[in-house]
Amino acid sequence: MANKSKQNTKAFAQSKRLRRRWITFLRMIRYGVNNFSRNAWLTVAATVVMTITLLIVFMAVAAQNILADTATDVGRHIDRSIYLKTGTTEQQAGQIISDLQHLSNVDSVTFISTEQGRANFVQQNKTDPGALSALTEATNKIPATVRISLKNVNDTSQLINFVNTNQHLKQYIDTTRPPTFMGNRKSAIDTIAAWTLAAQRAGIAASVMFMAISMLIIFNTIRMAIFNRRDEIEMMKLIGADKGFIRGPFVIEAMVYGLIAAIIATAGGYALLLAAKPHVVNWGITIAPTITLVTTYIAFVLLAMMILGALVGMISSLLATRRYLKI
């Protein structure tokens, strides 16, 4: 009976401690939110810089995705062809096509016979008498063509290795015409890939730089807040407030900067994407998939931005309170 009474007493005491902690936590949140509006100019400055930082992060990620989609789209329209000897039939090229289809990076393979190639040439140049005259003189020189579509448009290593090693291909390949992915067009694809990587690195660098600036401004904002409230802090110390309760409102205040900035930055970034769409489409930039992705997962995007903003604010505040809040 005595043991049961002790257990009940212990459970009651534990419940009381948890309730006290919860009430303390709610008070810290209330004080932190109230502090947010006490220094209007410092609050606006910190929130604006945080908003710019998060907007740059948003746009950097979006731009990297847009560039990747654009590079993929452009890559799909770049001809990747292997030229076979004039008159090579689809049946003769069957083993070559089969071997290509077994490559992991190959999406599809299309065979164009000499006759079909000639018909395509005539259709494309029907208004050019000079081209048609040249075709008549070189009828027997039009090659059969194997066109390849890749899954990863920036990786042609498998195709290059295939051209160099496949025994079936060596019997029929037109040695006077190198495959398109081994000439000047390969350098164009490599250039697109290089620009995509450079843009990604520039976006990361800009994000890190502005994040550091944002953390510095929030750091100084919290330092000023500590200085302005030094009398309150001294009074809280005298009545026995613990370190966490004194530090908590400053951390909450900085996190509020990040949360509000995240909402504004997400809305602004999404609006910029929608506003840019009609303009960049005319330049051949593939932006629609990115807008669709953001629209579909807007809640997750906002949540990620809010977590990032709150984290930046929390780290800045903890650094400031650790250095300037003498408790």
- Quick: pLDDT tens for 13-37: 566 666 666 666 666 666 656 666 6
The per-residue pLDDT of the chain, averaged, comes to 77
Q: Has this prediction a pTM greater than 0.85?
A: no
52-102 pLDDT, tens per residue? 888 888 988 888 788 778 777 776 666 688 899 888 888 888 899 999 989
Closest of 256, 257, 270, 212 to residue 61, by C-alpha = 270
Q: Domain 81-178 has what CATH class?
A: alpha beta
H or E element, residue 108: strand 106-112
- Give me the residue spans of the domains in the chain: 28-73+191-324, 81-178
Residue 267 binned pLDDT confidence (cut-offs 50, 70, 90) = very high
Residue 45: exposure state from Cβ atoms within 10 A (0-12, 13-18, ≥19): middle
71/269: higher pLDDT: 269
160/1: higher pLDDT: 160
Residues 100-125 as b or e (16 or more Cβ within 10 Å = b): beebeebeebebbbbeebeeeeeeee
Question: What count of Cα atoms within 13 Å lies in the side-chain half-sphere of residue 9?
Answer: 6
pLDDT of residue 189: 61
Q: Which residue has the tokens 């949360």?
A: 259
